[in-house]
Amino acid sequence: MKEEEKTRAEINMAKIPVSGDLPGLLFTVGTVLIFYWGVPALRYVFPAAIALGCGIAAVLHFVHHEDPGAKGPVKFLAIGPVEKPSGN
């Protein structure tokens, strides 16, 4: 293959740096709106996805609100006793 055929111009979303402040929020909202307007089928699913996401965020907020970090990010979902890792 020629060198021109090997390289492809693609946008890798994982390589775009987005911080957790206003530019990150604008990037996220803009991306959601582009998909919302570009894929008409999402217009039917979008309200349910927003409601479900807000519900999960509320549950996670109240579960971790009392003692943040004590249970770990998802260890409250574990069934049965959860062992703490030993500090070896």
pLDDT value of position 48: 93
Containing structural domain, residue 63:
43-81
Q: What is the largest CA-CA distance in the chain?
A: 60
pLDDT at residue 64, rounded to an integer: 66
Q: Is residue 6, in this structure, part of any structural domain at all?
A: no
Residue 20 covered by a domain: no
* Residue 75 to residue 60: CA distance in whole angstroms: 12
In a domain, residue 37? The reply is no
Tokens of 24: 């990150």
Residue 34 belongs to some domain of the structure? no
Concatenating the DSSP letter of every residue in 34-86 gives: HHHHH-TTHHHHHHHHHHHHHHHHHHHHHHHHSSTTSS-SSGGG-SS--PPPP
What is the tally of structural domains in the chain?
1
Amino acid at 28: T
Question: Could you tell me what percent of the chain has a pLDDT over 70?
Answer: 61
How far is Cα 35 from Cα 29, in angstroms, rounded to an integer? Answer: 10
Q: Identify whether 5 is part of a domain.
A: no
Handedness of CA 76, 78, 80, 86 (dihedral sign): negative
pLDDT, tens digit, for every residue of 50-80? 899 999 989 888 876 555 555 555 555 555 5
Q: Would residue 59 count as lying in a domain?
A: yes
